[in-house]
Amino acid sequence: MAHEITVNVSTPTEELTISGYPDGLVITDVSAGSPYVVAEPSNTINVLGESGATIVTANTYADNSADVINIGAQLNVTIGTLLESPVASELDGFKYAYPNFVDAGITTTIHGPTHKFGDVVFFKSDLSDTANEWGAVCRRADVNDIEKGAYNNLFIFISHTNNTLILLQKGFFDLEDENISQWTAGRGLYLNHTNTLDITPTSEPSNWIRSLGYCVPNNNNKKRVWFDPDSTYIKII
């Protein structure tokens, strides 16, 4: 039995390549090219193409007795900005917030701050009667004292506002000039004898050395680093 099908042709605004596979349809935005990851120090990783990202939701079905595959009203394609991706969610998971982290030892005011944005810090156990609900305090790492960061998990200090502590455990980070002594693309990252990030580690006797990541090449003239502390350390004799 013949069927009359009306086909309307309009000028395309976006070209899509649609290929049929046994398990469904694959839709490729050929104008956008392959997605790639942009290394942003904010730890929000954007997955995008030349003309933006594509979110595709597709479903199709075929009856064994049918002469055609019906995709009418079953195929939904949205072209626009990709607001969130699994990559972004996973990497952003390395930035932690600790609400109600009461710590009188953290001073961030402009007059004599103990903790500055970009400092390398660690958690020190606090089991005293006045301890906060986290049972810890946050202190700057000190290469001169093996108990102050040598065998602790290290973080980059972001902020401590209204008793909410925010730290970065791992990820891309743009350092200010005051946070790093020397920066050279591709070089390893350490703490120097003043407990400042540096491409040259401390060489003082009894100090500890620990790899903290590396300097990331970039064309934005930024002191960008990948912060990822090693779990081992060396003590200088």
Q: Strand pairing partners for 224?
A: 174
Count helices and strands in the chain by DSSP H and E runs: 1, 18
The structure tokens listed for 141 are 């790492």
Assess whether 105 and 146 both reside in one domain: yes
Assess whether 67 and 145 both reside in one domain: no
pLDDT in tens, 157-211: 999 999 999 999 999 999 999 999 999 999 999 999 999 999 999 999 999 999 9
Residue where a domain terminates, one of 92, 108, 136? 92
The structure tokens listed for 196 are 């400042």
Q: Of 173, 199, 163, 40, which is closest to residue 118 (Cα–Cα)? A: 173
In a domain? residue 3: no
Among 26-35, 91-100, 120-129, name the one with the lowest average pLDDT.
26-35
Assess whether 122 and 225 both reside in one domain: yes
Q: Confidence class of residue 140 from pLDDT cuts 50, 70 and 90?
A: very high
Domain that includes residue 156, residue range: 95-235
CA-to-CA separations, 127 to 104, 137, 147, 148, in angstroms, rounded: 15, 10, 16, 17
In a domain? residue 9: no
Residues 6+ positions from 232 with CB-CB distance below 8 Å: 210
Sign of CA dihedral 151, 153, 157, 161: negative
d(CA 224, CA 185): 9
d(CA 100, CA 111): 23
In a domain? residue 11: no
**Is the full-model pTM beyond 0.85?**
no
Assess whether 103 and 207 both reside in one domain: yes
